[in-house]
Amino acid sequence: MSEDLTARIIEIIAKTAHKPVESITANSTFEEIGVDSLDGIQVLFALEQEFDISISDEAAKEIRGIPDVVAGVQQLIEAKSA
Q: Are 1 and 66 in contact (CB under 8 A)?
A: no
For residue 1, pLDDT beyond 90: no
Per-residue pLDDT, averaged over 34-45, amounts to 94
Which domains are delineated in the chain?
A: 3-81 (1.10.1200.10)
Q: Are 20 and 14 in contact (CB under 8 A)?
A: yes
State the CB neighbour count (10 A cutoff) for residue 74. 16
CA distance 17 to 81: 29
* pTM of the complete model: 0.92
For residue 12, pLDDT beyond 80: yes
CA distance 14 to 22: 9
